Structure 1
Amino acid sequence: MNADIFQNPGDTLTWQAFMDRYHDYTGKYPCRPVADAGYGSLDNYLYNLKNGIELVQKYGNFGKKKDRRFQKRIYNVLNWKQTEEGFLICPEGRVLDQYEGDNISRTRGGNLHISQMYAEKGHCEGCPRRSQCFRFGKYRRVGKNVVMEELQGKVDENLGCEEGKGLCRQRSIQVEGAFGILKQDRGMTRFRRRGLKGVKMEFLLNCLGLNLYKYHLFWLKQRANNLIGKLN
C-alpha cells in the first residue's frame, strides 16, 4: 500500500515522494504509472526520464484539447493553428513569428524553465479583434517552451494509443472506485483526528481496512469457484 497525507495545495509536489516510496518497497520504479493532470509538470516529467518511467501522466490542458466547448474559445492559443515552422496563427490570420526574447525562471524543483516569446510583426496594429484577443500589454505575445511541448507531445503519443487508453480506463476504475467505497460506502467524508500524524494514521487505517475487505471478497469468490468445481 502506497498512501500518504500531504499539506500541499495540489498534487504536483507529491509525485516524486510516491515514486521514491514505491522504489523503497520494491527496489525498482514503476514502468507506466498513470495519473491525472495534477501530476503533470516539467519537474515530474524530467524526474520520470531520469528514473526510466514512461511519460503517462496527464498535464493541465490534456483533456481540454478534445473538449468541444473549449475548442470554441478562438482566442486561446491552444486552439490556434500553426505554420509548418511551428509559429502560431491568430484568428485574424496573422503569424506570430517575431522573436522577442526569453522569459527565464526556475521551477520549484530547481529546473530551468525557458519560454521563448513571440509576437506578430505589426504588433497587432489595426486588428479589429484586438480588444477581444488580449487585455493586458500593448500587443499579443505568446510563449513557447520547446522542452515542455516535446514532453507533452510524448504524453499525447503514449496516452493516445489503444494501450494508453486502456491504462487510463484502469486508473479510473481502480483509483476512483477505491475512493468511492471509502467515501460513499464507509462514510469517510471528513477526518475526525487533528494534526498531520493523527490524520495520516486515520487514513492509513481506512486504507488497510479497504484492502482487507477486497481480499475477503476475493477469498469468498475463490471458495465459491472451488465448490462449483467440485460439484461439476
Structure 2
Amino acid sequence: MFAKWKFTYDAESNSYICPEKHRLTYRTTDRKGYRQYASDPEHCKTCPMLAQCTHSGNHRKVLTRHVWEDCKDWVRNNRLSRDGKHLYRKRKETIERSFADAKELHGFRYCRLRGLANVKEQALMTSAVQNMKKIAIHLDRLEKRG
C-alpha cells in the first residue's frame, strides 16, 4: 500500500495529489481533528497502481491529515535539524534531571491533593523550591569566588 508520504499535499487547494497525478479532495473533518481526503473512484477504477494504493471495494483511497499538521511538521523539522539534535541531547542533563529531582526530593511522584487547581499549586510550589535552590547554589559560588 502506498504510504501517506508518497502523496503530495497542496496547501493552496487543500488537497493531496497521488503518485499518478490525481487529486484527493477534502471531504470532512472528524471529531478528533483529522481532515479526510478521498480520491475519485472513477479515476481509481482504471488506475494501473490501484492494487498498490488501496484494497477498498469502492476503489477509493482515503488519507487523513490533522488540523495541526503544519505545526507538527514544523516541530518535527526543528527537532531533526542539526541544532535540534544537539539541544535534544542536552535534555537529559537539564530538563529530565529537574523532573527526577522533583520526584525524588520534593514529593512530585504523587499529587497530595485532588483537583486541577491543587495539582497546579503543587507543581508551582515545587518549581519555586527548585528555583530557590538554584539561586542559593549560584549565590554560594559567587560568595566563595569573591
| TM-score, normalised via structure 1 length | 0.42
Deviations 1:52-92 (A, max 9, x none): xxxxxxxxxxxxxxxxxxxxxxx5725x5458x9745xxxx
Q: For residue 182 of structure 1, report the CA deviation from its aligned partner.
A: 0.5
Structure 1 Cα separation of the partners of residues 110 and 2 of structure 2: 38
Correspondence for 1:117 among 27, 31, 38: 38
Question: What CA RMSD, in Å, does the superposition of the two structures yield over aligned residues?
Answer: 4.3
Counterpart residue number, 1:77: 3
Counting matched residue pairs gives: 137
Work out whether residues 102 and 108 of structure 2, in 8 Å CA contact, stay in contact via their aligned partners in 1: yes
Q: Which amino acid aligns with 1:117?
A: A
C-alpha separation in 2, matches of 1:101 and 1:183: 49
TM-fit CA distance, 1:192: 1.1
Report the equivalent of 1:179. Answer: 99
Which runs of no fewer than 5 residues in structure 2 stay unpaired?
A: 11-15
SS state at 1:175 partner: helix
Question: Does 1:195 pair with 2:115?
Answer: yes
Match for residue 25 of structure 2?
A: 101
Could you say if the C-alpha distance between residues 176 and 207 of structure 1 is closer, same or farther in structure 2, counting changes exceeding 3 Å? same
Q: Tell me which structure has the larger Cα radius of gyration.
A: 2
Letter in 1 for 2:112: R
Tell me how far 1:181 sits from its aligned partner: 0.9
Distance 1:118 1:96, change over 3 A: farther
Q: Does 1:162 align with 2:82?
A: yes
Q: Which one-letter code corresponds to 2:3 in the other structure?
A: V
TM value normalised by structure 2: 0.59
Cα deviation digits, residues 115-163 of structure 1 (max 9, x gap): 4323672388984x79xx76x7644623265x86655554444333322
Between the two structures, name the one with larger relative contact order (CA 8 Å, sep ≥ 6).
1
